[in-house]
Every structure is written in structure tokens, then in C-alpha cells.
Amino acid sequence: MTDKPSDLVQGTLDMLILKTLALEPMHGYGISVRIEQMSKGVFHLNAGSLFVAFQRLQRAGLIKGEWKATDKNRRARYYSLTEQGRKRLESETREWGRQVAAIARILEAS
């Protein structure tokens, strides 16, 4: 692991967002902090790519957003998983596991 935050593997950001939201509805900043924490600082997200991903996921009907007050009494948009999003997360997780295992086997073989 390098010290500098890594770029995400293409296409995995959506999956990470879905995973994060699987626990509870969260606002944008919360999501980014959670992903950074869980990755122990490996991933660092800028606002642009994060919000493009939100828009994409909303349009696909995988997450939905709702304005609510935060614990510090600010207004923020909370995202939550839809039923479809939950299903997608399951299938993506399974697929990811398969691929990682396969890649690992290839790398270890040599």
C-alpha cells in the first residue's frame, strides 16, 4: 500500500456506495467518510466523481435521495438503497468475489 490515496478500480465506486448504504441511509459526506474509513485511507473521493455516481445510481433506480435534517441540525440529502439496489449489491458482491478469486489464482499460479 502506498501512502497516497489510490484511484478506484473502474466501476467499483458504485458498488462501494451501495455497500455503504446497505447499513443505513446516509448523506453524501457521510458516505465518503465511511468509504475512506473502511478502506483505511486507501480511497479518497472527490466531490465530482461522488456526485456523478449518485446521479447515475439514482437514475438507474438503485438508490433514492431525500432531504432531512442532520444530527447537527443542518439540511442534507440522505440516500438509501431501493429494493433493486439491494439486489444489485448482492449480485455485484458475488460477481466481485468470483473475479477476485480468479485473479488471485492467476497471480499466485505464476
Partner 1 sequence: MSLRRVIASGVRSLFQRKREERELDEELRGFLEMAVGEKMKEGMSRKEAARAVRLERGSVGGAKESVREAGWEHLLETCWQDIRFGARMLRKNPGFTAVVVLTLALGIGANTAVFSVVNGVLLKPLPYRDPGRLLMLWESSLQGGTLGTVAPANFYDWREQSRSFEKMAAIDPYPDFIMNGVSEARRLAGAAVSQDFFSLLGTHMTAGRDFLPEEDRPGSNHVIILSYSTWQSYFGGRSDVVGKRLTLNNDAYTVVGVLPRDFSFVGKASDYHSRNHFDVWTPLALPHPPQAWQRGTHPLCIFAQLKPGVSLQQAQTDLNQVASNLQRLYPADDKERGITAVPLAEHVVADARVALFTLLATVGMVLLIACANIANLMLTRGATRQKEIAVRIALGASRARLARQLLTESVVLAGAGGVLGLAFVYLTVPTLVRHLPSDLPRAAEISVDWRVLLFTCALSMFTGVMFGVVPLHQSRRVSGNDSLKQGGWSVASDHSRLRSGLIVGQVAIALILLTGAGLMAKSLWKLMQVSAGFETEHVLTARLSLPPQYTNDYKFGTGQHRQISLFQRELLERVRQIPGVKSVAFTAYLPLSGTDNSWAFYIEGRPANPPGVYDVADYRPVSADYFETIGIPILRGRAFLPSDTEDNPLVVIINRAMEQIWWKQQDPVGQRVRFGDDDWRTIVGVVGDVHHEGLDVKPEPEMYVPYGQVPNVEARPTIVLRTSIEPESVTSALRQAVSEIDPNVPMDHAETMKEIVYGSVSQSRFRTAMLIIFALLAVFVASVGLYGVLSYSVSERTREFGIRMAIGASRGAILGSVLSKAVRLIVIGICLGLLGALLLTRLIASLLYGISPFDVITLASVSTLLAIVGLVASYMPARRAMRVDPVVALRYE
Q: Shortest gap between Cβ of 9 and partner 1 (angstroms)?
A: 19
Query: Could you tell me the CA-to-CA distances from 76 to 1, 9, 52 in Å, in that order?
Result: 34, 28, 17
Q: Shortest gap between Cβ of 34 and partner 1 (angstroms)?
A: 13
Question: Which residue carries 485473479 as its cell?
Answer: 103
Kindly write down the DSSP assignment for every residue of 28-45, as one continuous string.
HHHHHHHHHHHTTTSB--
Does position 24 interact with partner 1 (CB under 8 A)? The reply is no
Does position 51 interact with partner 1 (CB under 8 A)? The reply is yes
**DSSP category for residue 58:** H
Which residues of 17-62 form beta strands (DSSP E)?
26-27
Does position 37 interact with partner 1 (CB under 8 A)? The reply is no
> Which residue's CB is nearer to partner 1, number 60 or number 103?
60
Does position 56 interact with partner 1 (CB under 8 A)? The reply is yes
Question: Which residue carries 449518485 as its cell?
Answer: 54
> Which residue's CB is nearer to partner 1, number 40 or number 74?
74
Chain residues in the site for partner 1 (CB under 8 A)? 27-29, 32-33, 44-52, 55-56, 58-62, 74-77
